[in-house]
A = this chain, B = another copy of it.
């Protein structure tokens, strides 16, 4: 990895962000220093791929800033977006399931800053920071929960309802308040939403155009603001 550098060399930013993240919240100064010393850090440009499904899991990651998309590509070349990782969360934690390879592809949805540790350091980090193991398990549980909900949605809800649910999830996890509503904090296209919901891009466009007209959302190229989450919730729940 030519682009990675030792994390501590970079000084304060990583240290501050590390302390703010869930898996390493409230740990002592010297231990924090040691954990940072063992880490590498890396900046990603939007669109960069960090690892691919079936790749050997040589490292695990903590997202310090930005958004990372977890996805799978089918043999036919279709992409399905499974999850968006937000700052402060672990990802690429194959080790937590005794797995030797990644099960998904990780791609930056925006410019990102990530910390990583080689997989052989897993036990060492868990030892240095007792909260780490629990954080990894919680991450896994939350992801499991989201996948399960998605299966249920895909089995029981219409395309319009799935798009509503996807937008609510996006603004909930990665929302920025604006004066007209909550905006998704990273660039997102109709194509992205189609890969997130299993609908085709044309259907997504049609549904969102209608919502634009009725004032539920305000959307421009690569940008979505949800003005009326209450109405989206109504749509997503309708019998």
Binding site for B on A (CB under 8 A): 72, 74-76, 78, 80, 82, 96-99, 103-104, 134, 137-138, 140-141, 143-145, 147-148, 150-152, 154-156, 195, 197-198, 237, 239
Say yes or no: A148-B82 contact (C-beta < 8 A), given A156-B74, A198-B154: yes
| A–B Cβ pairs within 8 angstroms, 16 of them | A74-B156, A75-B237, A76-B239, A96-B137, A96-B141, A97-B141, A103-B144, A103-B148, A140-B144, A144-B144, A150-B151, A154-B154, A154-B155, A154-B198, A155-B198, A156-B198
Q: Which residues of B contact A98 (CB under 8 A)?
A: 134, 137-138, 141
Output the least CB separation between A111 and chain B (Å).
26
A-side interface mostly: helix
Q: Which residues of B contact A141 (CB under 8 A)?
A: 96-99, 103
Output the least CB separation between A234 and chain B (Å).
13
Which residue among A103, A137, A148, A150 has the maximum number of chain B CB atoms within 10 Å of its CB?
A: A148
Q: Which residue of B lies closest to A155 (CB)?
A: B198
Instruction: Please determine whether B103 and A152 come into contact, CB atoms closer than 8 angstroms.
Output: no
Which residue among A97, A143, A155 has the maximum number of chain B CB atoms within 10 Å of its CB?
A: A155
Instruction: Please determine whether A78 and B138 come into contact, CB atoms closer than 8 angstroms.
Output: no
- Alpha-carbon separation in the docked complex, A145 to B151 (Å): 13
- Alpha-carbon separation in the docked complex, A24 to B197 (Å): 40
Instruction: Please determine whether A151 and B147 come into contact, CB atoms closer than 8 angstroms.
Output: yes
Which 6 interchain pairs have the tightest Cβ spacing? Answer: A97-B141, A155-B198, A154-B154, A147-B147, A80-B152, A80-B155
- Alpha-carbon separation in the docked complex, A72 to B96 (Å): 25
Q: Which residues of B contact A96 (CB under 8 A)?
A: 137, 140-141
